[in-house]
Structure 1
Amino acid sequence: MKRIDALRIIADHTAELPVVVTCAASSRELAAVADRPNHLYLLDAMGLAGSVATGVALGIADTAVPKVVAVEGDGSLLMNPNVLATAGYLRPAKLLMVLLDNGVYGATGNLPTYGARIDLGDLAMAAGWTVRRAGDERELAQRLAAALTADGPTLLHTRIEVGNAPDVPKLLEHPLIIGRRFQDWLAVRTSAAEAVR
């Protein structure tokens, strides 16, 4: 499965959820699939999707918003593996990280990550996360649906093919505008969820 195929599945399941997306191709491809105000694209912030999503999950803990989803890559997670220990310790129930693992740093000519010898799902499990795995589109759709109802922190370790989708435009929106759009969406979503509660 290609990254963009995985992102289509994620977009199909998260239209009403806050989604924090790692930088570079993951952000660009998700924006090409479905650019929504509930997407927080972390431009030039490699390694921070899990940390930001952990903060959002802690912030929405007492609201009716059911889940926050982080979309992370293996190279990016390896820039900040501390998020696994931090979330394993803090145990935010509403945190789901979808790890799109292609085994390479796509932005640097596909240099290999440590993922070939270090299983990032096992690392998350050792830190106290619930770990699920997916290797194709059918498994991703099924396991993502199940993970969205589980108490977190949960990591859905998803194997994808090497390579970026062709002809995906650059994401040129200013990070402040992206952040404000997400913040405004989340404020309305938590207020609406509270009114229903």
Structure 2
Amino acid sequence: MKRIEALGVLADLTSRHPVVVTCAATSRELASVRDGDNHLYLLDAMGLAGSVATGLALSVDPAAPKVVGIEGDGSLFMNPNVLPTGGYLAPGNLLLVLLDNGVYGSTGALPTYSSKIDLERLAAAAGWTTRSTDTTDGLRAAFGELLTETGPAFLYARIEAGNAEGVEKLLIDPVALTGRFTRWLREAHTVADVTA
């Protein structure tokens, strides 16, 4: 499964969910598949998708659709503390999707540590409910299963290395992205304070 194929599936599944997206190729590819006001692209903020998604999950109405974070293996290795933090805080409405291609896809495809460090087992050890897949059908099924779980959920998706060709850079001002996401969030969900 290619990243852009996985993102196509996730775009179909998350139209009602707040979605926090890791930087670089993942943000660009998701925006090319389907851009939405419910997407918060973390441009130039590698390693923070899980942290922002966790904080957001703690802020929105627990009865609202789950907060979905989309993270890459390289980015998660930049901030692995998000796994024990999420496990400890245990927001019931958080689903973190990890797209693991085994490389830093936006910086020359240098290998990450994921060939030796099992990120799904790490998440499970930290208290997350986990599922794994390497197909688009499996991604749909596992996502649906994890939506029914209470507590933090972690969906490990093995994807092929490589970026989609011909995808435009995401040149929207990060302030504008934050503004539109905040407006959507206020209209769609009850939040404690999304600007704090």
Normalising TM by the smaller chain, what interval? over 0.9
In structure 1, the residue matched to 2:82 is: 83
- Is the Cα contact below 8 Å between 1:19 and 1:39 reproduced in 2? yes
Q: Distance in 1 between matches of 2:188 and 2:79?
A: 29
Q: How many correspondences in the alignment?
A: 190
Report the AA paired with residue 15 of structure 1. S
In structure 2, the residue matched to 1:128 is: 127
The correspondence of residues 1-197 of structure 1 with structure 2, limited to 5 A, is 1-60=1-60, 62-191=61-190
- Is the Cα contact below 8 Å between 2:67 and 2:94 reproduced in 1? yes
Q: Distance in 2 between matches of 1:152 and 1:25?
A: 29
Q: Distance in 1 between matches of 2:51 and 2:92?
A: 15
3-state SS of 1:108 partner = coil
Q: Distance in 1 between matches of 2:62 and 2:140?
A: 26
- Is the Cα contact below 8 Å between 2:16 and 2:65 reproduced in 1? no
- Is the Cα contact below 8 Å between 1:74 and 1:103 reproduced in 2? yes
Report the AA paired with residue 16 of structure 2. E
Paired-residue identity, %: 61
The Cα of 1:46 is off from its aligned counterpart by 0.2
Q: TM-score, normalised by structure 2?
A: 0.95
The Cα of 1:78 is off from its aligned counterpart by 0.3
3-state SS of 1:98 partner = strand
Deviations 1:141-165 (A, max 9, x none): 1111111222130100000000000
- Is the Cα contact below 8 Å between 1:64 and 1:190 reproduced in 2? no
Q: Do the aligned partners of residues 126 and 63 (structure 1) sit closer, same or farther apart at CA in structure 2, a change above 3 Å counting?
A: closer
Report the AA paired with residue 104 of structure 1. V
Report the AA paired with residue 42 of structure 1. L
Q: Which runs of 5+ in 2 are unaligned?
A: 191-196
Across the aligned residues of Structure 1 and Structure 2, the Cα RMSD in angstroms comes to 0.9
Report the AA paired with residue 122 of structure 1. R
Structure 1 segments of 4+ aligned residues over 6 angstroms from their partners: none
3-state SS of 1:115 partner = coil
Report the AA paired with residue 35 of structure 1. D
Q: Distance in 2 between matches of 1:108 and 1:11?
A: 25
Q: TM-score, normalised by structure 1?
A: 0.94
Report the AA paired with residue 180 of structure 1. G
Q: Distance in 2 between matches of 1:63 and 1:102?
A: 32
- Is the Cα contact below 8 Å between 1:63 and 1:190 reproduced in 2? no
Q: Distance in 2 between matches of 1:30 and 1:109?
A: 20
